[in-house]
Every structure is written in C-alpha cells, then in structure tokens.
C-alpha cells in the first residue's frame, strides 16, 4: 500500500499527506464501536431513522464541499461528484424510511411450533473501500448498517483520505452517535489485526480481485462474514433489433462516465455484425467529442484518471494487448496537460489468447467484438472470469429478458447502461465477488437472523 496522500490528478500536485493510525487510535475506535453496538442492540431500528435523515440533510448542506473534495483528489468531473452526493442522500433517506419495516421479525410456518426470526445487529463491520466513488461506496455500507445497528470502521483507499475524513465529519456533525462511522488510515497489516479483533464481526470490501482476495483470506481465517464487491468486465450486447436512438443515448457515457473507472462500465461491447458499423460510428463520435480539462470546470467532459499510476497501468495493459494483436480503431489526439490523462481509445481484434480478453481495463477504453448472431454474443459474454453487470440492447423487451436470464452476471440492464439505486441490489458472481449491497438484500448482509421457536405444547 502507498501512503495516504491526497494528490490532485489534474495537476499531479500533492495536496496533503496523512499519517497512519496509531495502535492507540485503533484500540480506541474498537472500544467506541463496541460500546455503541451494545447500546444500539437494545434499541429498535426505527429509533435511528431520524438520525439518518439528519445525516442526509447534513450531506445536502455540505453537498458542494463534499463534491469538490472528491473531484480534487480523484479527478472525477464536478458534475458527477454532485450526482454522487445526491445519490448518497437518497440512499440515507431510503434506509431511514424503509429499513424499520424490513428489519421486523419474519414469521415462519413450522409443524414444530410457533417460530419467527429476528434480524439483529452483529457488531462492528469493517468497510474497505475504493477511490472510484469515494462517498457512494462508503454510504452503500454505512446507511444500511446504521439502521441494523452495526457501527462501521472505515478503511478507505490511500488516495482519497480527505474524502474519508470529510465523510466522517459530516456524519458526526449531523449528531450521529459517536462511533457510527470511524475512519482509520490503516496499513494492510493493521487491517489484518482489526479483522482478527473479536469486536469486529464482518468485512465489506469493494475493490479489485487483488484487494478482495487478501481481505477475504483474513476474514475467512478469522471466521468473519464478508461481502466482496469486486471488478467487472461487463458485456454490452447489441442485438440485431437494437433501436439506433437507444444505442446512441446509452453508448454516450456507458464507457466514459467517471472516466471509465466504474466497476460496471460497459467494457466489452459485443455487437451482431449487422450493427457493427453503426456502433463503431457512435463510439467514435462519442469519444472524439470529449473535451479534456480541469474536472472542476463545467465545460470539461473528459476528466483525468484518478492517479498517474492508474493511467500508466492502463497504458501498460493496452500496450501488451496491442503486442498480442489488438488493433487500435481510434485514439483521442494528444492531450497537452501535466495531469493524469489517458487518451480514450477503441480496441478491436481481441482474441481469446490476448491477455486483455480476460482483464479489466479500468479507464476509457472500449473493446469491441463483432459476432455473427445472438448465440455467439451470449457465449462470448459468458466467456469471462468476471460476472458483475451486463446490458442487452434490443427493441423486443421480452426477448431481451430471455437473453438476460442466460447471462452469468449479477445484474443486467435492458436498453440502458449500468445503473444504481438504493432499492436495487448491487453485486456479482464469479471473480466479481459475492454478496449484495443496497436493497433489502444488502440490508441483510450483516444481520443475525436469530430464530426463536416455541415448542412447548
Ligand atoms: P483495490 O486496490 O482492491 O482497493 C480497494 C480497497 O482495498 C482500498 O481501500 C485498498 O487500500 C484496499 N486494499 C487493496 N489491496 C489490499 C490488500 N492486499 N490488503 C488489504 N487491503 C487492500 O481496488 P481499487 O483499484 O482501488 O478499485 C478499483 C477496483 O474496484 C476495480 O476492480 C473495480 O471494478 C472495483 N469496484 C467494484 C465495485 C463493485 O461494486 N463490484 C464498485 C467499485 C469498484 P489501498 O488504497 O490503501 O491500497
């Protein structure tokens, strides 16, 4: 792990460095979290609704400050940062309103006696989060667990420490009980120690396969429940009856939102041959019309990558792919900037032997595959170790639903690109991880489904 540093990727200038947590700070955070868990354990979730609404209100109050902080340290377009804060406000309000009834006991039919199960809190949950949506990734775990009664210890990515601190501050200032969310700048070794601590009952990870497998290993060793929201290589399947207007609208930002750094970006565009030229033209127009610049400026539509290291890594992956036969159909012209820009590109001719075939490209690179028919499209979509999201573009919705059911991913959007909302479950299969965040499914991730049965006759 690198140091916790806030670096503006538009200038590559260091804004501020942050020291790692001390052992004393870690012990104190665990004590405070445990105390809060025990207090919350005897309170109904509904008693926390007002507080979560107040947290949402405080994010509204600090909307611009939060958005600017995220843009400054990971480079996303300011407008996208504002959208992220708004989404998080919705998530908080959603759980504040809906969680109390979702967390009511469920009655079970049994011949053995009258039975039900409670949905109880379990303890401190550690959240290991990535930089790509510095607030959303945290709130996806925080809001539901706040209602369940599980305090959060946050280990955020090393390059978004200011966002992590501000998130903690906004929650605290809203009047949330001390310990509701505690941010710690932990080293990898310290993460292992926290997971092993008996006061910690679960780990939620969003990140790459590399981070996920390491944290999942520590969780498994210590018999701690975990959820893994990992990478994706999402197929975007264009069927022969796709509506060209829908295609144009959807492809507009399916690969370029957040500078292509979305786990569910449409990374593999799989097109039946009759629409291949149409799709290539749309992608070409979309990429060529991007305007690079300062992500804080409203007129900018192409942001820098989150860091120079990420831009260099992507360039290296692409170079290797080209050496193995991939062809560059388009690349954006030279960008004169000292920032971490990557020139968006369209790649074709990626065969199964190419290392790119089964790698996630986390940036503005569209990989386009021409297929003969729908059957070949489905087979290619499923030929991946990832299984996060997918899209199917077709003017026959019921047929698209049949196609969706044949794709091995956790989510499929028909006639759209990736999507997220508080009421919709988010997550994948295969190396994209396990478990779900958001929706009622996500709310239950770290709940003790405590069976109570009366067998007295
Ligand atoms: P990452 O390197 O795995 O980092 C994610 C988090 O895990 C960070 O806090 C990171 O800390 C920590 N971490 C990394 N390696 C670790 C290790 N060996 N031991 C303990 N902690 C470790 O992922 P990223 O590159 O920042 O994020 C991009 C990835 O996230 C992409 O693959 C993307 O698809 C995926 N993602 C998935 C979803 C989803 O919902 N499925 C959503 C968003 C992103 P440091 O920063 O200190 O290394």
pLDDT at 18 over 70: yes
Pocket test for ligand 1, best of 211, 219, 264, 424 (most atoms within 8 A of CB): 211
Supply the residue whose CA is at minimum distance from atom 8 of ligand 1: 157
pLDDT for 173 beyond 70? yes
235-421: in CATH 1.10.3720.10: no
Q: What is the pLDDT of residue 256?
A: 95
Q: Supply 141's token pair.
A: 């775990």
Q: How many degrees, rounded to 5, is the angle at CA 224 between CA 223 and CA 228?
A: 120
Could you write out the DSSP letters of every residue in 89-140? HHHHHHHHHHHHHHTS-EEE--TTSEEEEEEE--SEEEEE--SSSTTHHHHH
> At residue 457, does pLDDT exceed 90?
no
**Least confident piece of the model among 92-106, 116-130, 223-237, 246-260:** 246-260
Please tell me the predicted confidence (pLDDT) of residue 323.
98
- pLDDT value for 2: 63
Give the model confidence (pLDDT) of 107-151 as tens digits.
999 999 999 999 999 999 999 999 999 999 999 999 999 999 999
pLDDT-derived band at 42, boundaries 50, 70, 90: very high
How many Å apart are CA 65 and CA 83, to the nearest integer?
13
What does pLDDT average to over the chain? 97
The preferred substitution site among 207, 360, 436 for testing ligand 1, maximizing ligand atoms within 8 Å of CB, is 207
In eight-state DSSP terms, residue 271 is E
pLDDT of residue 384: 98
Mention every residue, 6+ apart, whose C-beta is less than 8 A from residue 179: 29, 32, 33, 35, 36, 151
Tokens linked to 203: 């780990």
- Does the predicted TM-score (pTM) go above 0.95? yes
Ligand 1 atom having least distance to the Cα of 131: 26
Average pLDDT over every residue of 372-385: 98
What pLDDT was estimated at residue 265?
96
Average pLDDT for 295-318: 98
Residue 81 has pLDDT above 70, yes or no: yes
The per-residue pLDDT for 1 is: 59
DSSP-H helix ranges across 134-206: 136-148, 161-173, 188-196
| pLDDT in the model for residue 101 | 98
Q: Rounded CA gap, 411 and 418, in Å?
A: 9
The arithmetic mean of pLDDT across residues 157-181, rounded, is 98
DSSP H or E stretch at residue 270? strand 268-272
Domain spans of the chain?
4-230+432-454, 235-421
Write down the pLDDT at residue 39.
98
How is residue 193 written in tokens?
A: 């120690």
> Cβ atoms within 10 A of the Cβ of 32, count?
18
Q: What percent of the chain has pLDDT over 90?
A: 99
**Buried b or exposed e, range 242-256, using 16+ CB within 10 angstroms:** beeebbeebbbbbbb
Residue 38, pLDDT above cutoff 90 = yes
**Average confidence (pLDDT) over 222-242:** 98
Nearest protein Cα to ligand 1, atom 11: 157
Write down the pLDDT at residue 252. Answer: 83
Query: Which tens digit of pLDDT belongs to each residue from 197-230?
Result: 999 999 999 999 999 999 999 999 999 999 999 9
Give the whole-angstrom CA distance, residue 94 versus residue 146.
Answer: 12
Q: Compute the CA torsion angle 351, 352, 354, 355 (nearest 10 deg).
A: 150
Residue 276 has pLDDT above 70, yes or no: yes
> Considering the domain 4-230+432-454 in this protein, what is its CATH number?
3.40.605.10
Atom of ligand 1 nearest to the CA of 426: 40
- Looking at residues 32-45, what average pLDDT do you find? 97
């Amino acid at each position: 792990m690198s140091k916790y540093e806030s670096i503006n990727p538009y200038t590559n200038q260091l804004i501020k460095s942050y020291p790692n947590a001390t052992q004393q700070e870690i012990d104190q955070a665990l004590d405070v979290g445990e105390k809060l868990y025990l207090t919350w354990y005897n309170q109904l979730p509904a008693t926390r609704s007002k507080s979560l609404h107040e947290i949402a209100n405080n994010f509204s109050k600090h909307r611009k400050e939060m958005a600017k902080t995220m843009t400054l340290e990971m480079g996303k377009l300011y407008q996208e940062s504002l959208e992220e804060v708004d989404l998080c406000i919705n998530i908080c309000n959603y759980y504040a309103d809906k969680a109390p009834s979702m967390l009511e006991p469920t009655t079970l039919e049994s011949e053995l006696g009258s039975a039900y199960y409670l949905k109880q809190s379990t303890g401190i949950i550690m959240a290991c989060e990535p930089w790509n949506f510095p607030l959303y990734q945290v709130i996806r775990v925080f809001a539901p667990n706040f209602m369940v009664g599980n305090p959060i210890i946050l280990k955020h990515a090393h390059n978004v420490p200011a966002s992590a601190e501000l998130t903690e501050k906004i929650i605290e200032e809203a009047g949330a009980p001390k310990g509701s969310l505690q941010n710690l700048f932990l080293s990898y070794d310290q993460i292992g120690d926290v997971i092993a601590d008996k006061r910690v009952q679960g780990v939620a990870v969003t990140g790459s396969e590399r981070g996920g497998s390491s944290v999942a290993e520590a969780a498994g060793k210590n018999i701690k429940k975990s959820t893994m929201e990992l990478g994706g290589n999402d197929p975007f399947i264009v069927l022969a009856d796709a509506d060209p207007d829908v295609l144009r609208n959807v492809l507009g930002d399916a690969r370029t939102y957040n500078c292509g750094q979305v786990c569910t970006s449409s990374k593999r565009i799989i097109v039946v041959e009759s629409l291949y030229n149409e799709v290539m033209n749309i992608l070409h127009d979309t990429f060529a019309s991007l305007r690079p610049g300062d992500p804080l400026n409203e007129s900018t539509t192409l942001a820098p990558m989150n860091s120079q290291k990420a831009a260099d890594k992507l360039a290296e992956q692409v170079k290797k792919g080209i050496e193995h036969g991939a062809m560059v159909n388009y690349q954006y012209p030279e960008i004169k900037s000292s920032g971490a820009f990557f020139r968006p590109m369209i790649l074709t001719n990626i065969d199964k032997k190419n290392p790119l075939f089964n790698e996630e490209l986390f940036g503005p690179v569209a990989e386009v595959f021409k297929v003969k028919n729908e059957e070949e499209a489905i087979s290619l979509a499923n030929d991946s170790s990832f299984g996060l999201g997918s899209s199917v573009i077709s003017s026959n919705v019921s047929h698209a639903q049949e196609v969706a059911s044949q794709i091995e991913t956790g989510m499929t959007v028909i006639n759209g690109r990736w999507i997220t909302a508080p009421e919709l479950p988010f997550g994948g299969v295969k190396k994209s991880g396990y478990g779900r965040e958001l929706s009622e499914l996500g709310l239950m991730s770290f709940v003790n489904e405590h069976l109570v049965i009366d067998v007295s006759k």
